[in-house]
Amino acid sequence: MQDFKMTGREFLELAPPHQNLYLERLKRMEIIQKTFSELPKADQNLCNHGSYFLAANASICGLAANNFFRNILHVRKAAVVSAVPMAVIPFISTAAIYEVFVREPLFAGGLNCEVCAVVRGGLIGAAVGGLYPILLALPMNASLAARFSSSPLPGKENLLRFWLTTAQPVFRKMSWGVLVQLLTGLYLATKHHGIYVKVLQQMNAGRRDPEELEA
């Protein structure tokens, strides 16, 4: 009985196409991560912790929107109860969504388009880091106003108009926060893509070195 031996290349040739693609992607991710670990610490820190700055701004937006709604609705109780979720939830949501849709696909080799990465970063900054905390603060303070009867609430027929009127000045005041988050997301995504380009440049330089030595 003959021994059956198969080289790595022969295995890849016999494997299904989708499996080959998956294995190649894993190999590329490993090379990217290894090359990334050789970058300066400043680049690594910006890449690993940059999204927390965007998330911290989202927490500030949440606290500011919460304070505006409390003043409009004359809510004086449950200050800590309303402040904690308005700081924590936007922080976690912004950091997680940025990681999933920008940083992870970028350094996994699945987001090579600079414009796409920058647009994603800006949209996440504006929508998740800016608008979402405002929308989250509205129902929370509405429930507190109803619970403590701090402000007279209309009937069901005028409910939508009342909340639109109540939210309008808050959105106007928070427009600066949304703009800051938009610019922060654009900047962060641009820097992350620049670091990714550095990784690719080092990978290409590493491939050329053995050829130059042999020459």
Q: How many residues does the chain have?
A: 215
The label of the residue with tokens 């693609």 reads 21
Is 20's pLDDT higher than 80? no
pLDDT at 124: 97
Residue type, 8: G
Please answer whether residues 58 and 93 qualify as being in contact, where contact means their C-beta atoms are separated by less than 8 angstroms.
Answer: yes
Buried b (16+ CB within 10 A) or exposed e, 32-61: beebbeeeeeebeebbeebbeebbbbbbbb
Which residue would you say has higher pLDDT here, 154 or 19?
A: 154
Which residue would you say has higher pLDDT here, 124 or 111?
A: 124
pTM: 0.82
Which residue would you say has higher pLDDT here, 119 or 162?
A: 119
Is 65's pLDDT higher than 80? yes
The rounded distance, in Å, linking the Cα atoms of 86 and 69 is: 12
The label of the residue with tokens 């849709």 reads 101
The label of the residue with tokens 């995504």 reads 189
Please answer whether residues 137 and 85 qualify as being in contact, where contact means their C-beta atoms are separated by less than 8 angstroms.
Answer: no
3-state secondary structure of 42: helix
Average confidence score pLDDT of the chain: 85
Please answer whether residues 163 and 155 qualify as being in contact, where contact means their C-beta atoms are separated by less than 8 angstroms.
Answer: no
Please answer whether residues 142 and 70 qualify as being in contact, where contact means their C-beta atoms are separated by less than 8 angstroms.
Answer: no
